[in-house]
Copies of this chain bind each other. A is one copy, B any other.
Amino acid sequence: MANKKTRVTIHDIARELNVTASTVSRALQDHPRIGADTREAIKSLAVKYNYSRNMLASGLRTGRMNTIGVIVPRTNRHFFSNVIGGIESYVSEKGYQVLISQTQESYQKEVFSIKAMVDAHVDGIILSVSLETMDDAHLQLAIDHKIPVVMFDRVIGSGQINQVVLDDYNGAFNAVKHLLDLGCERIAHFGGPSHLNVYNDRLRGYMDALQSGNKPINPHWINNDVLTEDAGYAASETLFQSDNAPDAIFAASDYSALGALLWLKENGYKVPEEVCVMGFSNEPFTAFTTPSISTVEQPGGEMGRMAASLLIGQIESENSTFTPQKEVLKTHVIIRESSKFHLKQQ
């Protein structure tokens, strides 16, 4: 009977069958030099005793732990929790486990997390950088240890690392284009720190869409670092109490769009008749506000699976010639009540 106190090891099995541990190890890996009889005897005994390989010992010897590290700013953002779900469901089918760490948007914690992942001998790392992160120098530690890295959504650096991103530029472009089609002429933007690709791309999409519609770009209407509900609320107040108020807001975050919507409602502005509002990410609440908020879908589960797929491909690829890939997921604008129509529309 299997001993309950301590795990069954290959030595236990070896002893019982009068072979050595090396034979057991090879048999369990279907090594061709082990005879069929021996192999089957070992395997059935392994099943009988409910043997499971000690991953620490195996990992120590082989350097592979079948674990991937995931580093995100926060686990409880809807988007990131979706990504984590996608990663976990993909890699668990491939026999990998998921080690999680959150940076709380702190660069220092991100550095620490990477170090912790390297120490834990993960086979690969999937990462979305913090708001504070300015470059990818800290990833060198993982690269030095030959640990593949995939960045998603908030990516950064020189492009020597696999990336999975949304087509933020087109998402923003199409969103603003939609506002222009409604007749909006004075479209403000709530953005994020422009050293991050996602916010920079959304800003560029916004500006290019304005230009393509022959609308002037007013710096006064471009607000950076307006990503939270409070910031959106405050920025709206400033914006609409100036003598150059916009007639639409395109926010790079659903939260700041929500803040804008609340301020507008509280101050008697009609949405969408007088002011159209659009957000970004399709957070669940956007469907339920009054009016519901138009936004751009950001498919977290899909990004997670895609990132995991790229990573595992790189982990398991034999050839060491690595050319970084960049996967770009298509965007999809979701039109809701906050931009259904506009007074200026013909």
Contacts and interface: CB of A to CB of B under 8 A. Distances in A.
Interface string A264-293: 000000000000000000011101111000
Contacts of A77: 81
Contacts of A118: 52
7 contacts: A7-B145, A56-B56, A76-B85, A77-B81, A80-B81, A92-B101, A258-B288
Given A52-B119, A101-B97, A84 B88 contact: no
Interface string A218-258: 00000000000000000000000000000000000000001
A230 B47 CA distance: 43
Interface stretch (A33-41, A57-65, A168-176): A57-65
B102 A99 contact: no
A65 B75 contact: no
Interface string A85-128: 10011001000011111101000000000011011110000000
A74 interface: yes
A290 B287 contact: no
Contact of A98 (B55, B99, B283): B99
A78 interface: yes
Given A116-B97, A290-B290, A85 B78 contact: no
Specify which of A52, A76, A102, A285 lies most central, judged by the most chain B CB atoms within 10 Å of its CB: A76
A52 B118 CA distance: 10
A54 interface: yes
A48 interface: no
A330 interface: no
Given A119-B52, A285-B287, A84 B76 contact: yes
Contact of A78 (B76, B258, B289): B76
A300 interface: yes
A265 B70 CA distance: 42
Nearest to A70: B100
What are the nearest 7 A-B pairs in CB distance? A81-B81, A76-B81, A56-B60, A76-B85, A290-B290, A288-B288, A288-B289
A60 to B, nearest CB: 4
A56 B53 contact: no
Nearest to A261: B288
Interface string A128-146: 0000000000000000110
Contact of A84 (B100, B116, B119): B100
